[in-house]
Chain A
Amino acid sequence: MFKFIISRAALVIPTFLGITFLSFFLIRLVPGDPIEVRVGERGITPERLAMLREQLGLDQPLWVQFASYVGDILSGNFGTSLVTKNPVLLEFLELFPATVELSVCAILFAVILGLPAGVMAASRRGSFWDHTVMGVSLGGYSMPIFWWALLLILLFSVSLGWTPVSGRLSVMYYVEPVTGFMLIDTLLSDEPGAFRSAVHHLVLPSVVLGTIPLAVIARMTRSSMLEVLGEDYIRTARAKGLSAGRIVGLHALRNAMIPVVTVIGLQVGTLLGGAILTETIFSWPGIGKWLIESINRRDYPVLQGGVLLVATLVIVVNLIVDLLYGILNPRIRHGR
């Protein structure tokens, strides 16, 4: 196992290098540098432009800028935002809990609904339920996030008034950030009603962000279950007279879970990508909104640092998923 972790971790190094390289150069391909973007109609004198470029280090050749960036990263320095002048890591840590909270709720929503739906569809193959689950999940998968979110807001927030339109907490409460996770912070605070408000605010964004993973998980669970249910040992279990529930829940599901866990792991990347849109629509103060803003403002350090930190997270989650296989299925012994 240890050897496996080491070999997987070694594979991560080129991935990191690639991401560092891409995030650095891609944003620089976008026309307009940070100074020109903020200048507007007024324009800027060449002297002042030169002075500002020098101040920000933008006058250096690209490879010098890249080398100094990589050097900084290796010493744990992710740079300082060109716009707010705050350290990138500090801003990331301030906003990241909001994204994690939303992503966790979204994936919980997707797993809690998606797994049973997939199992039900597989165990009643060809039935009305099977067709419904498959139809709805195809719809969910194809749904543009933006449109889906606005639709839900119109129905649940504006027409029915059940949920708030956007934000993380009603403006009438102020909760001092302790952990950055609103559900925890509101519980720790002595503001009555704040926790309930935080839960209400989480509902719609979680549903929106969880819709695509839900569809993927339901479909994956179904096909994986169908495969497993056709295996000899399931027939044996049936022949032994085990109940259908026991066969599906105990014998089939555990083996069907391997591809499903892989998909859930891969969905973390999708979730963080989807979070960018979802956070923008729901004014959710997470890293998605932060990254979008950094592109608009050509805030190079924020974008580079943010992308690298997010990529790290996706890599780590996928590494964990790899390790989970072994726990789920003893036959997959790593390194063999």
Chain B
Amino acid sequence: MYGAAMGLALAAGAIAPAQAQGSKTLVYCSEGSPENFNPQINTTGTTFDATQPVYNRLAEFERGTTNVIPGLAERWEVSDEGKTYTFFLRKGVKWHSSREFKPTRDFNADDVLFSFSRMWKKDHPYHNVSGGEYDYFNDMGMADLLESIDRVDDYTVRFKLKRPEAPFIANMAMMFASILSAEYADFQMKKGTPEKLDQEPIGTGPFTFVNYQKDAQIRYRANDQYFRGREKLDNLVFSITSDASVAYQKLKAGECHVMPYPNPADLASMRTDPNINLMSQEGLNVGYLAFNVTKKPFDDKRVRKALNMAIDKKAIIEAVYQGAGVAAHNPIPPTIWSYNKETKAYPYDPDQAKKLLAEAGLANGFETDLWAMPVKRPYNPNAQRIAELVQADLAKLGIKANIVSYEWGEYRKRAQQGEHMMAQLGWTGDNGDPDNFLNVLLGCDAARAGGSNIAKWCNQPFNDLVTKARQSSDKAERTKLYEQAQAIFVEEAPWFAIAHSVSFKPVRKEVVDFKISPFGRHEFHGVDLKR
């Protein structure tokens, strides 16, 4: 008994010191170590989470939504032809300071120019520092899109684009577009340690970076001079815990307040735990089975429609997603603006499917391949299992589907080359813009061999709508265009859309106002702890 009491006292002692001093420390059991602390040169969620507290962007996503709000830019103007974006920067924004660096000036246009030029200009002195790979900047097509970036004055920056591109503003809110200090970069360059810019971050964000111990923890302190006002939390600690079962035990023991990716098997007990609030939100993603429309018999719309009716989606959601997914029928998730609520999902109707197949001259079925990814993805927890269920449903119509799989890199490459007849894949949104799904996954440009449209479906009316929407900066107009595009998608059925997964975040009850990010980030600004 004494031992137990003593033990409890010791365990409590772990949290007690900070509370005794009256400070609020939130501990987040993060899943891994960041590659470094510069979101420009990385693509992993782990690094984005670790850099989010430190940096700001010109435009930002409102916490918990995909809405774009002003960040370091107070406002922006778009020229009539949609090719010139003028950002008016916020004044009086202070840079963090560290033991070795004390900023002499506030944030201004030079910092914006530095941050983008580093990624864009190959001759920039920082371009090759830390590997010089700017995957997101390149993947979002920024290098080809930008024509010039000009400093109009200290607090005005003008971006000129080669073509109108409405998602540009959403791109500017993505983590890769974070703004770094040009003065700090100069300081590190003069010291001969430019790579420290990416390892010991100086930003303008709500928390100041304190220190990092690889594979152990990252510590941050509230930024007293934050332009949106000081955070309610005093300290933020990322306690790196790679095993989800262990993170859950830490959550139960009160050693951390929030954990990122719970094991599905733990969800039931999390729901009943009085100290834990299991939050959930539909993810910004879609898992699908694409029909390669360039191959017979999938060039026939009737066959694609028949397969949409032949597969029992509900059974897949129940057996594979186990409550962590909602059935999809549009190519974009319901969390994205312009989601078309009017389109109707194909019912599970094997008889009707049989009729459609007979009309297409395939009354006796046919033989096809059915690709299943070898990996677990956020939008598809078990592609192999889904393939088995689909195989069984199709067998009832006399369709012989042979399950095929490759190593993940090879799988993606071959699917994008269009080698398959039917292949599973999915997508997680980058910037919350419908274009990021509809154009990237279903546009004619992406239907080329090697492109990300693995149905290889190029439908001119659909493509015209999506292209027009991409070039318009009127959100109401874009919404209409995207809604029409989704109606065409459903009618043409290039995919069997499977599901949008639901993400779960177990959070301790004392955590106040934590919001799940639709982008899968873990953000702690605006969060508080009950005493």
Contacts and interface: CB of A to CB of B under 8 A. Distances in A.
A171 B217 contact: yes
A1 B33 CA distance: 47
Contact of B8 (A83, A161, A200): A161
Given A161-B11, A171-B239, A41 B409 contact: no
Contacts of B44: 38
A289 B215 contact: yes
Interface of B: 3-4, 6-8, 10-18, 25, 27, 32-33, 35-36, 43-44, 130-133, 135, 138-139, 195, 210-211, 213-217, 219, 237, 239-243, 245-246, 249-250, 252-253, 255, 377, 407-410, 412-413, 416, 425-428, 450-452
List the 7 shortest-distance A-B pairs measured between CB atoms, nearest first.
Answer: A162-B7, A36-B409, A31-B407, A285-B215, A170-B14, A285-B216, A161-B11
A91 B214 contact: yes
Contacts of B428: 41
Interface in A261-310: 280-283, 285-286, 289-290, 293
A84 interface: yes
A191 B15 CA distance: 14
A240 interface: no
Interface string A88-131: 00010011000000000000000000000000000000000000
A96 B10 CA distance: 28
Contacts, number: 162
Contacts of B215: 95, 283, 285-286, 289-290
Nearest to B210: A174
Contact of A32 (B11, B250, B409): B409
A198 to B, nearest CB: 12
A283 B413 contact: no
Contacts of A164: 11, 14, 253, 255
29 contacts: A31-B408, A31-B410, A32-B408, A36-B408, A36-B412, A36-B413, A38-B44, A39-B412, A43-B412, A43-B452, A84-B36, A150-B249, A157-B249, A158-B249, A161-B12, A162-B3, A162-B11, A164-B14, A167-B239, A167-B241, A170-B15, A171-B237, A171-B239, A172-B25, A173-B17, A174-B210, A197-B13, A281-B246, A293-B32
Contacts of B36: 84-85
Given A39-B412, A41-B427, A164-B11, A158 B253 contact: yes
Contact of B18 (A161, A172, A290): A172
Given A166-B246, A285-B215, A172 B15 contact: yes
Contacts of B253: 157-158, 161, 164-165
Contact of B250 (A161, A165, A196, A285): A165
Given A285-B216, A293-B33, A280 B242 contact: yes
A320 B241 CA distance: 35
A51 to B, nearest CB: 9
B78 to A, nearest CB: 27
A85 B195 CA distance: 9
A164 B36 CA distance: 28
Given A38-B43, A283-B246, 10 more contacts: A33-B409, A41-B412, A85-B130, A162-B3, A163-B7, A164-B255, A170-B13, A171-B25, A171-B217, A177-B213
A95 B11 contact: no
Contact of B7 (A31, A161, A167, A290): A161
A55 B407 CA distance: 24
A154 interface: yes
A314 B6 CA distance: 40
Question: Among the interface residues B17, B215, B450, which one has the most CB atoms of the partner chain A within 10 A?
Answer: B215
A-side interface size class: 35 or more
Given A31-B410, A41-B425, A153 B249 contact: yes
Question: Among the interface residues A162, A165, A167, which one has the most CB atoms of the partner chain B within 10 A?
Answer: A165
Nearest to A42: B139
A219 interface: no
A36 B215 CA distance: 24
Contacts of A67: none
Interface of A: 31-33, 36-43, 45-46, 48, 52, 55, 83-85, 91, 94-95, 150, 153-154, 156-158, 160-174, 177, 193, 196-197, 200, 280-283, 285-286, 289-290, 293
A294 to B, nearest CB: 11
B214 A94 contact: yes
Question: Among the interface residues B13, B246, B452, which one has the most CB atoms of the partner chain A within 10 A?
Answer: B246
Given A31-B409, A42-B139, A43-B412, A165 B249 contact: yes
B219 A289 contact: no
Contacts of A40: 43, 412
B270 to A, nearest CB: 14
Contacts of A289: 215, 242
B452 A162 contact: no
A41 B452 contact: yes
Nearest to B3: A162
Contacts of B412: 36, 39-41, 43
Contacts of A153: 246, 249
A300 B425 CA distance: 28
A172 B239 CA distance: 11
Given A42-B139, A193-B17, A160 B213 contact: no
Contacts of B413: 36, 43
Contacts of A83: 35
A167 B138 contact: no
A197 B3 contact: no
Nearest to B7: A162
Nearest to A285: B215
Contacts of B130: 85
Nearest to A173: B17
B147 to A, nearest CB: 21
Given A165-B253, A280-B242, A285-B240, A193 B13 contact: yes
A282 B246 contact: yes
A48 B137 CA distance: 13
A283 B132 CA distance: 31
B446 to A, nearest CB: 9
A170 B217 CA distance: 10
A282 B132 CA distance: 34
Contacts of B427: 41
B176 to A, nearest CB: 13
B242 A283 contact: yes
Contact of B216 (A156, A167, A293): A167
